[in-house]
């Protein structure tokens, strides 16, 4: 398996400085996460605690919480990483033991734009599901997370 297969990468350039792109990624996830990726009923928020060891979790209107991952790197506005707790049936996994890690880099691409690079590492930890994850990353459908993230940045930047 080549390194490229081992760690798929997806990038998008957004019309915002790195600090704003980072902020929207970390503080506005409910705006851009595809509804089908959320696991609580009636989601009220998706929260990323801003520190190494912090949780990435969903909270429903009824107070139910589901942890999606743990922050493993926190270096605003340049880089962050978190575990991806996805299990069989695309349902949340209970802990980080079999979670992969998504590394997100915010690289300045001009005075008011940023290339955001998502690298999906340790997918083999998902066992039999790894090939399905690779396929989904390689060929995201319309309305996928990266596309929706870019749309959220565009909306936020377009506001007066």
Set out the domains of the chain in order of their start, with CATH numbers. Answer: 3-158 (3.30.530.20)
Give SS3 for 21. helix
CA distances (Å), 1 to each of 5, 6, 93, in order? 6, 7, 26
Distances in Å between the Cα of 68 and the Cα atoms of 19, 111, 112 are: 23, 33, 31
Looking at the predicted structure, is the pLDDT value of residue 153 above 60?
yes
**What local confidence, expressed as pLDDT, does residue 159 receive?**
66
| Neighbouring C-alpha atoms within 13 Å toward the C-beta of 41 | 1
Whole-number pLDDT of residue 139? 83
For residue 33, what pLDDT is reported? 94
* 8 Å CB contact between 46 and 56: yes
87 or 78, which is more confident?
Answer: 78
- What is the distance between the alpha carbons of residues 96 and 84, in angstroms, rounded to a whole number? 8
Determine what percent of the chain is predicted with pLDDT higher than 70: 95
56, 50 in Cβ contact below 8 A? no
Question: Residues 17-37: what's their mean pLDDT?
Answer: 95
2 pLDDT more than 50: no
In this prediction, residue 3 carries a pLDDT of 43
């Amino acid at each position: 398996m080549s390194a490229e297969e081992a760690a798929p990468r997806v990038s998008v350039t957004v019309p915002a400085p790195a600090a704003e792109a980072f902020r929207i990624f970390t503080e506005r996830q409910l705006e851009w996460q595809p509804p089908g990726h959320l696991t609580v009923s009636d989601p009220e928020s998706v929260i990323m605690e801003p520190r190494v060891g912090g949780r990435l979790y969903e909270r429903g209107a009824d107070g139910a919480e589901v942890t999606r991952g743990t922050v493993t790197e926190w270096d605003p506005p340049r880089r962050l990483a978190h575990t991806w707790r996805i299990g069989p049936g695309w349902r949340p996994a209970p802990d980080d033991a079999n979670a992969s890690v998504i590394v997100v880099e915010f690289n300045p691409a001009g005075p008011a734009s940023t290339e955001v690079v998502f690298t999906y590492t340790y997918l083999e930890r998902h066992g039999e599901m790894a090939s399905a994850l690779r396929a989904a990353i390689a060929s995201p459908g319309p309305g996928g997370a990266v596309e929706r993230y870019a749309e959220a940045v565009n909306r936020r930047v377009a506001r007066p």
